[in-house]
Amino acid sequence: MPSLQNIRRKIASVKNTQKITKAMKMVAAAKFKRAQDRIQAARPYAQQVARVLNDLAARSDPQDHPLFLRRALKTVELLIVTSDRGLCGAYNANLLRQAMEVIRQHEAQGVKIRLSLVGKKGREFLQRRGYPPQHNWTGILDRLTYPQALEIAREITGRFLGGESDSVELIYTEFRSALQQRITISRLIPVQKDLEKNASENEEAVGRKDVLFEPSKEEVLAKLLPHYVEVQIFRALLESAASELGARMTAMESATRNAGEMIGKLTLTYNKTRQAVITKELMDIVGGAEALK
């Protein structure tokens, strides 16, 4: 039978944990609304940039810009976005499990992998499995700004244009709601038009008369393509930040509820144990009185 003192210590410990999880849930909820508003505001612009690029790509030749060029896959760079902190449920675990599948698929085809990571959790996970990252950005999701996405985009684009990588794939978590996030894997570079989704639009665009570009088509592509990469990375970071906060809020709410249930069970055990101790003492008293008779 556990002692009353041990049970009291466990109850106090669980109560302290419950206070922490409740506070973390409140902090995540306070940040979540702002992150949700930012991603909802950014999505229409990112989608419109993609539409404009698709329309322009339908009128362009792959040779018009280096970011259109498709090369034989020898080296693939993976940009994986994870969180800096844990306590957000299976958010990081699910994402990194998918990332490992992508890595194994490429390695099975003899493709070399280059890793660029956002967040500490991805770095810790992949380093333990023998995949040290070449580049790692940490501490940016809490105070995310566009210049941070611009820096990442320039580094990744520079390595592709320099021939260090033949393709860049983006792995992140797309925000749906506080309870639902979807892991997304997409090819970022080389840029290509969405043939399946916009096939009819592209065919119609190709069939139109030539469009007059001001300035020239080459100058438009030179500005639009790098900007497209920057916007897609910025959107992925915003999606990941909102997804992380939603997952943490849900996980901490569940942990707080479980702590409350555990406190109830421990309190019941404490009361039963205390009652048993009192009953035993009464029986000892009664037995002693009977012995004196």
pLDDT in tens, 24-49: 989 888 888 888 888 888 888 888 88
- Same domain (yes/no): 257, 246: no
- Same domain (yes/no): 173, 190: yes
Any idea which residue has 């684009």 for tokens?
Answer: 157
Is 88 known to be catalytic?
yes
Using the CB atoms, write b or e for 99-129: b if 16+ within 10 Å.
beebbeebeeeebebbbbbbbbbbbebbeee
The domain spanning residue 159 has which CATH number? 3.40.1380.10
118 occurs within a structural domain = yes
214 occurs within a structural domain = yes
Is the separation of the CB atoms in 147 and 153 below 8 Å?
no
**For residue 53, which of 232, 201, 225, 231 has the smallest C-alpha distance?**
225
- Strand order of the β-sheet with 167-175 is 135-137, 112-118, 75-81, 167-175, 181-189
175 occurs within a structural domain = yes
- Same domain (yes/no): 216, 263: no
Range of the domain at 35: 27-250
194 occurs within a structural domain = yes
134 occurs within a structural domain = yes
Q: Is the omega angle on the peptide bond into residue 226 within 30 degrees of 0, that is, cis?
A: no
Q: Is 164 helix (H, G, I), strand (E, B) or coil?
A: coil
- Same domain (yes/no): 94, 203: yes
* Predicted pLDDT of residue 282: 77
**For residue 228, which of 43, 62, 65, 53 has the smallest C-alpha distance?**
53
pLDDT in tens, 194-221: 543 444 444 454 444 456 767 777 777 7
Q: How confident is the model at residue 225 (pLDDT cuts 50, 70, 90)?
A: confident
- Same domain (yes/no): 14, 52: no
- Same domain (yes/no): 259, 161: no
- Same domain (yes/no): 270, 195: no
* Predicted pLDDT of residue 195: 40
Pairing assessment for the beta strands 135-137 and 112-118 based on DSSP bridges: parallel
* Predicted pLDDT of residue 100: 92
Residue 16 has pLDDT above 90, yes or no: yes
Distance CA 174, CA 242 (A): 9
Catalytic residue from among 46, 56, 76, 88? 88
- Same domain (yes/no): 220, 270: no
* CA distance from start to end of the chain: 32
Q: What value does the mean pLDDT take over residues 116-121?
A: 91
- Same domain (yes/no): 117, 164: yes
pTM score: 0.82
- Same domain (yes/no): 240, 276: no
Spatial CB neighbours of 10, under 8 Å, sequence gap ≥ 6: 266
- Same domain (yes/no): 120, 102: yes
Number of domains making up the chain: 2
- Same domain (yes/no): 244, 257: no
